[in-house]
Amino acid sequence: MRPLQQKSAIQLPPELQSSNYRKHAAGVLQRWLIDRFHQRLGALASKALTGVSCPLVLEVGCGEGFVLSALARRLPECRLLGLDVSGPALRAARLLGVEASLQCADALHLPLRDASCDLVLAIEVLEHLAEPWLTCAEMLRVARGPIIVSVPHQPYFSLANLLRGKNLPTLGDDPDHRQRWSAGRFMAELQERATIRRVVRSFPWLMVLATKGEWR
């Protein structure tokens, strides 16, 4: 599965080329790391949806839709919904041909009923937010199954950037990040709000599958 090469081959107009888009269109090593991450995410999502017929999968903060495209290839039976607060990002996703329903929405006020989604994801989103755990609570509200969240695995994320001379003024961290978590601290804070079921590491990221209570 190599969706990134196909999607990033479509050249967006300059005004739609966000840092996230440029990350996915970066060099060979960066693309390999992201491809591997998407493969592991797809495998985790597939396990989470075992036995669910025609599941509804929501991605909060879908951006240009790279994760949605990877999931569409891995899980073609899913109904995919992507929400993002950025209109330009959603426009870019449509230009890139993302096969999902897309809607502009605030992560703190998801326009969905309680327990309406079989799987809810926030992939590399929480670290950008001033109130990440309020978003996590909203995700748990609309989920009838599990949620999957991923964040940069610190300090390895920043160290990897420093080694390649990236983000030197912020000691390797992305200047847009408002949160920094080690694996232990992130899981401890998440465990206060949900039940952690599975943890997957895909350097330099951490992904966690969690539920709000009992789960099959």
- Residue 78 is given by DSSP the state S
- Residue 171 is given by DSSP the state T
Q: Is the pLDDT of residue 209 over 60?
A: yes
Residue pair 205/150 in contact (Cβ under 8 Å)? The answer is yes
Strands laid side by side in the 195-202 sheet: 101-104, 79-84, 56-60, 119-123, 147-152, 205-211, 195-202
Domain at 3-9+19-211, CATH homologous superfamily: Vaccinia Virus protein VP39 (3.40.50.150)
d(CA 172, CA 156): 9
Give the residue among 123, 116, 124, 111 at the shortest CA–CA distance from 140: 116
5-24 residue pLDDT tens: 344 457 787 777 777 877 77
The reported pTM is: 0.90
Q: Is the pLDDT of residue 214 over 80?
A: no
pLDDT of 68: 98
Share of residues in the chain with pLDDT > 70 (%):
94
Tokens 């609570």, located at residue: 137
89-104 residue pLDDT tens: 999 999 999 999 999 9
The SS3 of residue 187 is helix
Residue pair 119/45 in contact (Cβ under 8 Å)? The answer is yes
Residues in the chain, total: 216
Say how far residue 176 (Cα) sits from the centre of its chain.
Answer: 16
Answer with the residue of higher pLDDT: 64 or 29: 64
126-161 residue pLDDT tens: 999 999 999 999 999 999 999 999 999 999 999 999
